[in-house]
Amino acid sequence: MTETDATPRKTIAFVAYPGLTLLDIAGPLQTLAALPRFNLPFEVVTVAAQKDTPMGTDTPLGITANRSFAEVPAPDVLIVPGGEEPTLAALADKELVDYIRTAGATAQVIASVCTGALLLGEAGLLDGRRATTHWIYRERLPVFGATPVAERWVEDGPVITAAGVAAGIDMALKLVERLVSTEFSRLTQLFIEYDPQPPQGPLDWDAIDIPSYDPIADGQIRTALEGHPELMAKLLDAKQA
Amino acid sequence: MTETDATPRKTIAFVAYPGLTLLDIAGPLQTLAALPRFNLPFEVVTVAAQKDTPMGTDTPLGITANRSFAEVPAPDVLIVPGGEEPTLAALADKELVDYIRTAGATAQVIASVCTGALLLGEAGLLDGRRATTHWIYRERLPVFGATPVAERWVEDGPVITAAGVAAGIDMALKLVERLVSTEFSRLTQLFIEYDPQPPQGPLDWDAIDIPSYDPIADGQIRTALEGHPELMAKLLDAKQA
């Protein structure tokens, strides 16, 4: 591959915040981090309110971002991971949601993994769009003006939303196809050896009574948004929207 | 589920070191971190030479472990992630390899993801065992006395090795089945929504000329082990072993 210094590089920014679900960010980050390593004209960064400052995740691994929001005001690609209570609490984090809103306003691609879609929604980026999220939260999307879709990932204009957690890897390979080529997406898949063999086979969605899990989501919303009654009410009512 | 304070908890320790491949640790960690959250008698920790101290990965995300090697001398389950040059360089990291050797001596389960298998090998834990690793490094396993196997994961006594990067998720679900139950493995799979749909479909191994990638491995070995000629020679000669 040839590239001169004059080739403009696109910036791919992964948003990090305390308590996120580790695999939501790690799956697509591993996939897309391959681009600059193959001398393709991309810079991949992780952005947070404060760079180089450890944050917790929903696992015993802490994380640090290598850029602050202020340093990456207008990435070309914006990717927002999700999580459970901490992500719901983050809906009330003005600095984070403002960053997603302003960065999303100019980005060519706006992506989410799992409940990262709720953050896109709160930032006003899902209005009138088809979108998906973790299956437990899917029917909460209409409150943001979005139409929920039960697919592994959903592309609608500049917005691409992935289903829960591990779906971020599939979505990222789709993004590589879009940003580079089908051939390079295949090569990336080979290097990260993404040739899944779930020991119990694929999920059997027909056997899963999704509405029966609503109390789990309701409980997480009540816990996470105790101090934010309007946001709490909005998400609790979303099922009926 | 019922559990009393008297229930002995098993410790599952993920080894972290500078420069590892993020998804190698994040995939199985996300999978196994579900156990204590469902009140099952497990403690999941991340261990490194120094806890709470940021380390780089092969992506723009830094990581921190929540325990030091000294704090977790004898975990019940030991899981070692891999990577590229930094993992090869880590073969010469006496503190790390000594930890893997001593912790592995008493662990009931010793697991690796990707080239983490080389670290198990250097610690003497693969001698006489069937094992796998990232496909680019698979034929280097005999130098550690192991028999390479081209499977998604390989179980041999207490040792379970996974293929490259993303294979750690499949292996971890298998481990959940072993440590808890098939039913709980299915539930974990549902919550992390691991229902893979690679956009380009499964990998077509028949179309991949694996030996043609040997120069990539050779180059990484030469770069990473420049100051350790014996280790370098051992791994370069492994193909002919």
Interface of B with A in 170-229 (CB under 8 A): 170, 173-174, 177, 182, 185-186, 189-200, 202-203, 208
Residues of chain A neighbouring B190 (CB-CB closer than 8 A) = 203, 208
Closest approach of chain A CAs to the CA of B82, in angstroms?
Answer: 12
Q: How far apart are CA B167 and CA A194, in angstroms?
A: 7
Q: How many beta carbons lie within 10 A of that of residue A128, not counting itself?
A: 10
Label the pairing between strands A147-148 and B42-48. Answer: unpaired
The pLDDT value given to residue A8: 85
User: What is the Cα A2 distance to its own chain's centre?
Assistant: 31
Catalytic, A114? Answer: yes
Mean pLDDT of A97-106: 98
The burial of A189, by beta-carbon neighbours within 10 Å (0-12 exposed, 13-18 middle, 19 or more buried), is given as buried
**pLDDT range class, residue B239, cuts 50, 70, 90:** low
pLDDT at B60: 98
pLDDT tens track for A210-222: 999 999 999 999 9
- Structure confidence by residue, pLDDT tens digits, A150-202: 999 999 999 999 999 999 999 999 999 999 999 999 999 999 999 999 999 99
Residues of A in Cβ contact (< 8 Å) with B25: 61
The percent of residues in chain A predicted with pLDDT above 70, rounded, is 95
* pLDDT at position A2 over 70: no
Angle at A140 between CA A139 and CA A142, to 5 degrees: 90
Q: Which of A17, A84, A195 to mutate to test the interface with B (most CBs of B within 10 A)?
A: A195
ipTM beyond 0.85? Answer: yes
**Closest Cβ–Cβ partner in B45, B196, B200 for A196:** B196
Q: What separation in angstroms does the CA of A101 have from each of A64, A75, A128, B161?
A: 22, 12, 16, 43
Given a cut of 60, whether residue A3 has pLDDT beyond it is: no
pLDDT at B237: 79
Position B8 confidence tier, pLDDT thresholds 50, 70, 90: confident
pLDDT for residue A239: 62
Shortest distance between the Cα of A182 and any Cα of chain B, in A, equals 8
- Asked if residue A47 has pLDDT above 50, the reply is yes
Structural domain boundaries of chain A? 10-240
What is the C-alpha to C-alpha distance for residues A174 and A186, in angstroms, rounded to an integer? 10
**Are A203 and B189 an interchain contact pair (Cβ–Cβ within 8 Å)?**
yes
Tell me the C-alpha distance between A177 and B207, whole Å: 20
Q: Catalytic residue among B89, B90, B114, B217, which?
A: B114
**With 60 as the cut, is the pLDDT of residue A16 above it?**
yes
- Average pLDDT of every residue of chain B: 95
Residue B29 contacts A where some CB pair is shorter than 8 Å: yes
Q: What is the pTM of this model?
A: 0.96
User: CB pairs below 8 Å between A and B: how many?
Assistant: 202
Catalytic residue chosen out of the listed positions A114, A175, A179, A217: A114
Q: Which CATH superfamily is domain B10-240 in?
A: Class I glutamine amidotransferase (GATase) domain (3.40.50.880)
Residues of chain B found within 8 Å of residue A203, distances taken between Cβ atoms: 189-190, 193-195
- Residues B193-219 have a mean pLDDT of 96
Chain A from 97 to 136: CB within 8 A of any B CB: 114, 134-135
**The predicted structure's pLDDT at residue A1:** 44
pLDDT tens for each residue of B94-106: 999 999 999 999 9
Interval B137-148: pLDDT, tens: 999 999 999 999
The residues in A 56-75 lying below 8 A from B, measured between CB atoms, are 58-67
Specify the pLDDT at position B238. Answer: 65
Residues paired with residue B111 on neighbouring β-strands, in sequence order: B79, B160
Yes or no, beta carbons of B61 and A58 under 8 Å apart: no
Band the pLDDT of A19: cuts 50, 70, 90: very high
Q: B153-204: per-residue pLDDT in tens? A: 999 999 999 999 999 999 999 999 999 999 999 999 999 999 999 999 999 9
Closest partner CB to B192 (pick from A14, A164, A182)? A164
pLDDT tier at B240, thresholds 50, 70, 90: low
pLDDT score of A65 more than 60? yes
Select from B160, B158, B186, B191 the least CA-distant residue to B173. Answer: B186
Residue A153: closest C-alpha in chain B: B197
pLDDT bucket at A237, cuts 50 / 70 / 90: confident
- Separation between Cα atoms, residue A63 and residue B55, nearest integer Å: 9
Whether residue A96 is predicted with pLDDT greater than 50 in this model: the reply is: yes
- Cβ distance B165 to A114 less than 8 Å, yes or no, reads no
